[in-house]
Amino acid sequence: MSPFPHLSDAALNFLDQGVRARDRSTRNLPALRAKAMELAKAEAPRICQEHGVNQDEVTLGGVRCLDVRPTTLRVDWPILYGFGGGMVEGSPIEDLPIIAPISALTGARIIVPDYRLAPEHPWPAAVDDGFAVYRVLADRPFAIVGESAGGNLSLVWMLKAKAEALRLPDAAALLSPWCDLSNAGESLTFNDGRDPTLTRRNSDMAASYYAGTNNVDQPLISPINGMFDSGFPAVLISTGTRDLLLSQAVQLSQRLRDSGARVDLQVWEGLWHVFEWYEDLPEAQQSIHQIADHLTRVMAGD
């Protein structure tokens, strides 16, 4: 009998392949980005067709965005989405394995700012780009979703909105949010080498590129240190027991609960950092369904 009977065969096979080491040195980053973009563009037509969504490019607040819509738009509230990649990699189209099914399941339009990346554009470039789009969407009910670095940005955009008395999202979902760039937390030690997709070294390197000489503890870089209150939206936080950032998800959920916000923390046994991105995993599909259901219920007033 498998020592992990709760995991799907796809998840077990993924874990059997070991850690996917990535060289995020400044010398190698352009090649990593180019390869990822090439693969994402090749896969995008299939992903969109399978989920019955269309993609387009729009400009909002002066920022280029990916606009993903289901064939039949069923709700009038959009979703602002922050993509992941440690602030140094990633792009809107690379997150289509998460974006497309959420759009299809909710029936909502999803707007994904193509924010600038570090180290060429360190903090606060990504914050500024995404917040320019946030301002455009904040004139009506909307939801927010972010994964990893995009979870960080989603929290920062909400903190900035609160400070400027702008409308907050009505619902939120954060997938393995990278909310503390000091990389504190026990999981960054005990899951280093157990998480097949993210290492402490890569996380530290990305943090240094993004923060530069700025204090990483300030809330607009590490939003775990922000001031939350009961006015923040009901949030679903997803993580896994092998997630390098598990501790940060747990700490964030406690901070939000202590502030009076509603929090649903989902910890998936045996799974890793943003496992939802791997569309062949049954567990990824289950989690995305839960996220879409959460957004739909909360936006309906539940």
What pLDDT is recorded for position 245? Answer: 98
Summarised one tens digit per residue, pLDDT across range 191-229 is 999 999 999 999 999 999 999 999 999 999 999 999 999
What pLDDT is recorded for position 1? Answer: 43
What pLDDT is recorded for position 5? Answer: 73
What pLDDT is recorded for position 2? Answer: 53
Cα radius of gyration rounded to whole Å, the chain? 18
DSSP state of 94: G
Q: What percent of the chain has pLDDT over 70?
A: 99
Nearest to 177 by CA among 124, 255, 115: 255
CATH number of 9-299: 3.40.50.1820
What pLDDT is recorded for position 23? Answer: 86
Q: Provide the CB-side half-sphere exposure for 156 (13 A, CA).
A: 29
CA distance 201 to 295: 34
Region 223-242: what's the mean pLDDT? 98
Summarised one tens digit per residue, pLDDT across range 284-302 is 999 999 999 999 999 999 8
The SS3 assignment for 1 reads coil
- Average pLDDT of the chain is 97
What pLDDT is recorded for position 22? Answer: 82
What pLDDT is recorded for position 115? Answer: 98
Strand-pair category, 63-70 with 53-60? antiparallel
How many CB atoms within 10 Å of residue 179? 29
Is the per-residue pLDDT at 261 higher than 90? yes
Q: How confident is the model at residue 95 (pLDDT cuts 50, 70, 90)?
A: very high
Q: Per the confidence metrics, is the pTM higher than 0.95?
A: yes
Under 8 Å CB-to-CB from 299, ≥6 apart: which residues? 75, 77, 141, 143, 170, 171
Tokens of 227: 């001031």
What pLDDT is recorded for position 302? Answer: 83
Task: Check if the beta carbon of residue 147 is closer than 8 Å to that of residue 277.
Answer: yes
Region 18-23: what's the mean pLDDT? 88
Region 179-196: what's the mean pLDDT? 97
Strand-pair category, 53-60 with 234-240? unpaired
Summarised one tens digit per residue, pLDDT across range 34-64 is 999 999 999 999 999 999 999 999 999 999 9
What pLDDT is recorded for position 21? Answer: 78
The SS3 assignment for 67 reads strand
Is the per-residue pLDDT at 4 higher than 80? no
Region 107-126: what's the mean pLDDT? 98
